[in-house]
Structure 1
Amino acid sequence: MTATLEVSRSNHVMLLKIKDPGTRNALSGERFYRAIEDAVRTANDDLDVRCVVVTGDGKAFSSGGNVHDMHGRKGMFGGAPEQIAEQYRTGIQRIPMAFWKLDVPAIAAVNGPAIGAGCDLACMCDIRIASDRAVFAESFVKVGIVPGDGGSWLLPRAIGYARAAEMAFTGDPIDADEARELGLVSRVVPHDQLMTVALELAARIAANPPHALRWSKRLLRESQIARLDTVLEMAAAYQALAHGTEDHAEAVSALLEKRRPTFKGR
């Protein structure tokens, strides 16, 4: 059994829901990896998509790796060391690479436990909102392995090196309130309000011009690895493009005329 990805659309927002109740939404299987890549490709190619929301089905966001497969040395966990390394490269590591290429803003609506790779999946998103039932753990050491899906790169950028090191070296879980204190999530909401709050935020993001959103995300993404002068040069280039769009003219006109703008991605 492998996870499935339920993809739906509402106005300018794409919702991705991970579904595998038998493993509490473990992230595994060629079908699942391909579905993530396909969803990202669709979002990038379609200017009508302006925000993506990621959540889990049922009581968990994602349990990460399939522990039963680890125990049985099956799937990506089976074979000689060089086979396992290649299975990580061509398997679960496709998820962080896909999200790194996602041009539109992404929100993780963390509805329950986000464990191991599930915690890292949340970190792949730009914004994280947690249910008060959410739990986070960078728990790879608890099963004698390392963060194999990019967590060692993602988590320090979300909460800083020292706090990420504490989570990774102990493997201990933290609750939603502690996650907020660490800056891992931006807000904690009652469980039954999670999707309402996440989708409302997505709608506020999606109300903006699609090109400006995508270029802003690219600048934020590159700022994590590039020098200031490089990012400033990129900003100047994108700004020149932005000033030439119809959406920019519409935004300025609407502001001066005190009306709601209508953006067409042009």
Structure 2
Amino acid sequence: MSGDDLFDEYATVRWEDAAPNVVRLWLDRPDRMNAYNSQMCADLRAAIDRFDRDDTVRVLVLTGAGRGFCAGGDIGGDDPRLAAELAGQLGRAQNLKHDLHAVVRDLLALDKPVIAAVNGAAVAGGLTLALTADLRVAGESAKLGDTSSRVGLLPDEGGAWLFPRVMGHGAAYRMVALGEVYGAARARELGLVDEVVPDGELAQVALDLASAFAARSPLALRVAKRLLRDGATSTLEQSFSDAALAVMFVNTSEDAQEGLRAFREKRAPDFTGH
């Protein structure tokens, strides 16, 4: 990673052009195990918006600098806003809507693919961030779980919605109620991660996966993601209808024609997103 690849306009995250059409976004408060504060939430929202708007970037890899992915909210740091929120419950509930709630909402709204490379701890709000990704690859020493109940708090960053959808109600409630944190192998069994790899291979495995996604038609991947997301809460007939409408413009796209030509010519397609 060269200095020319990094952009410095963010205070707590780093943007890296990691491979063609792939950006790696680093949570960058390693001295706080990448615990989020108000500034990080603002930086994440700006970077997510940049990713969403830039058609030259097709895939996002989200990871953490240093020894951890994200240790949740920085309740032990020096952020005066967070301290004020913790002192007043109504204030915390309102401000979260503008902070991590907004980040989670922005990530879940993305049609482009997102991959989380989970290194070290991803707990509480950090686990929520990881679960917004379409795929999660973890290093073998990663730790994932929710520790909110250990200090009398709640999974209020979006975990109450995401955890049962990923793990099922029983496993999610046990994790939340007991404040459990799992090793990478157990986290995979519970569905919290999709793949576990040696720590030293995590960055490359996640980047290779992102590059494989980036080589596919951006249009097809975005529409497929939307169909899968909407299909989780729609009827079969509605899913059929949505797919039929999507086919009308995806199957007639330049990418689809290129894909068919490449298949006939026995070569790799060159997709442009058109």
Match of 1:14 among 13, 23, 26: 23
- Give the aligned residue type for 1:27: Y
After superposition, residues 67-82 of structure 1 pair within 5 angstroms as: 67-69=75-77, 74-75=82-83, 77-82=85-90
Structure 2: gaps (5+ residues): 1-9
Match of 2:237 among 229, 247, 256: 229
- Give the aligned residue type for 2:251: H
Change (3 A) 1:198 1:174: same
Greater shift, 55-64 or 163-172, is seen at 163-172
Which residue number corresponds to residue 66 of structure 2?
58
Could you tell me how far 1:212 is from its partner in structure 2?
Answer: 0.6
Query: Secondary structure of 1:222's match?
Result: helix
Within the alignment, does 1:180 sit opposite 2:220 as a pair? Answer: no
Confirm or deny: 8 A CA contact 2:85 2:92 kept in the other structure.
Answer: yes
Query: Secondary structure of 2:164's match?
Result: helix
Greater shift, 103-112 or 42-51, is seen at 42-51
Confirm or deny: 8 A CA contact 1:3 1:18 kept in the other structure.
Answer: no
Confirm or deny: 8 A CA contact 2:29 2:65 kept in the other structure.
Answer: yes
Within the alignment, does 1:209 sit opposite 2:217 as a pair? Answer: yes
Which residue number corresponds to residue 160 of structure 1?
168
Confirm or deny: 8 A CA contact 2:23 2:61 kept in the other structure.
Answer: yes
Confirm or deny: 8 A CA contact 1:177 1:188 kept in the other structure.
Answer: yes
CA distance in 2, matches of 1:49, 1:244: 23
Confirm or deny: 8 A CA contact 2:42 2:99 kept in the other structure.
Answer: no
Query: Secondary structure of 1:48's match?
Result: coil
Which residue number corresponds to residue 102 of structure 1?
110
**RMSD after superposition:** 2.0
CA distance in 1, matches of 2:81, 2:177: 24
Taking structure 1 as the reference length, what is the TM-score of the superposition?
A: 0.93
**Cα deviations by residue, 1:178-235 (Å, 9 ceiling, x for unpaired):** 0111121111111000010000000111110111111111112212333322222221
CA distance in 1, matches of 2:50, 2:222: 14
CA distance in 1, matches of 2:153, 2:65: 26
**Cα deviations by residue, 1:47-95 (Å, 9 ceiling, x for unpaired):** 2222110000000001001121599884463453322211111122111
CA distance in 2, matches of 1:5, 1:72: 20
Structure 1: gaps (5+ residues): none
CA distance in 2, matches of 1:70, 1:232: 51
CA distance in 2, matches of 1:205, 1:120: 23
Confirm or deny: 8 A CA contact 1:21 1:57 kept in the other structure.
Answer: yes
Confirm or deny: 8 A CA contact 1:108 1:127 kept in the other structure.
Answer: yes
**Percent of counterpart pairs with the same letter?**
34
